[in-house]
Amino acid sequence: MLVLVSMFAYSYGVTLWANLGHTLNARRAMVGGVCLLWALLGNVIKKMPRNFYFGFRTPWALANERVWNATHRFAAKTFVVGGVAGLALMAVGLDGWPALVALIVGAFAPAVYSLVSYKQLERRGEL
C-alpha cells in the first residue's frame, strides 16, 4: 500500500510541478516513476497469498496453490527485471515506448508461465 500511495504522491507532484510552469519532461518523469513502481511491486508480489482480488488471477494459478506460488515468485523476478530495464532505457535516453515494452513483457510473462506450470503438473498427474 505504501508503494502505491508513494507513486500517487509522486504523480501528483510531477503534475503540479509541470503545471506551475517549471521546465520538466513530464512523460519521461512519469514513465520513470512507473518503472520504479514496477520494480518495487516485484518485491511485494512474491509473498501474496492466493486470493481472487490481487495478483496473477489466471484460472490456472487460482486452481492450484503450487502454481499460484510459482507464478508469483516468477512474477517478482520479471517485475524487477522489467522495472530496472525500463529505468536503464530511460537512463540512456530511450524514454517512452521502449521502457513501456520492458514493463509489458515483465507483466505478461508470468501469465504464460502460470499456464506452462499448470500443464506440467497436469502431465505429471500432480494436480
Tell me the C-alpha distance between 66 and 13, whole Å.
41
Render pLDDT for 37-57 as a digit per residue (tens, 0 to 9). 999 999 889 888 888 888 889
Among 50, 67, 53, which Cα is nearest to 110's?
67
Render pLDDT for 75-116 as a digit per residue (tens, 0 to 9). 999 999 999 999 999 889 887 788 889 999 999 999 999 999
The count of other CB atoms within 10 Å of the CB of residue 67 is: 27
Q: pTM for the full model?
A: 0.84
User: Which of 71-75's residues contact partners 24+ apart within 8 Å by CB, and which partners?
Assistant: 71/110, 71/113, 71/114, 71/117, 72/45, 72/46, 72/47, 72/48, 72/110, 73/46, 74/109, 74/110, 74/113, 75/42, 75/45, 75/46, 75/109, 75/110, 75/113
Domain tally, the chain: 1
All cell numbers assigned to 114: 502460470
Find where cell 499460484 sits: 68
Tell me the C-alpha distance between 98 and 101, whole Å.
5
Domain with 10 in it: 2-124
Burial class (CB in 10 A: 0-12, 13-18, 19+), 73: middle
Render pLDDT for 12-46 as a digit per residue (tens, 0 to 9). 999 999 889 888 888 888 889 999 999 999 988 98
All cell numbers assigned to 44: 511485494
